[in-house]
Amino acid sequence: MMRVRVDMTLCETHAQCVFAAPEVFTLNDDDELVYDATPGDAVRPAVEQAARACPVQAITVDRA
């Protein structure tokens, strides 16, 4: 299992993570980022891509 953390003080809602891993990252009706902090390992490649794609490096992926 992995743990995903997003530093919301850094996040500028560029939504690159949403494009890379839509099963984990979404935008709510107010265009604020919402995410699954403990997604299954099957989506790890997409989540790691989302972390790399974040222009402000706000996403951290750890083992839970």
CATH label of the domain that carries residue 41: 3.30.70.20
Whole-structure pTM over 0.85, yes or no? Answer: yes
Number of domains in the chain: 1
Q: What would the pLDDT profile of 29-48 be if each residue is shown by its tens digit?
A: 999 999 999 999 999 999 99
Question: Please, are residues 35 and 26 in contact by the beta-carbon 8 Å criterion?
Answer: yes
pLDDT for residue 64 is more than 80? no
Length of the chain: 64
Question: Please, are residues 51 and 45 in contact by the beta-carbon 8 Å criterion?
Answer: no
Say what the pLDDT of residue 63 is. Answer: 83
**Hunting for tokens 């951290």 — which residue is that?**
60
Structure token digits, residue 20: 């890379």
Q: Which of 54, 44, 55 is nearest to 4 (CA)?
A: 44
- Report, as an integer, the average pLDDT of 16-31: 98
- Measured CA to CA, the distance from residue 29 to residue 42 in angstroms comes to 27
List the domain range (segments joined by +) for residue 23.
Answer: 2-63
Query: What mean pLDDT is reported for the chain?
Result: 96
pLDDT for residue 2 is more than 70? yes
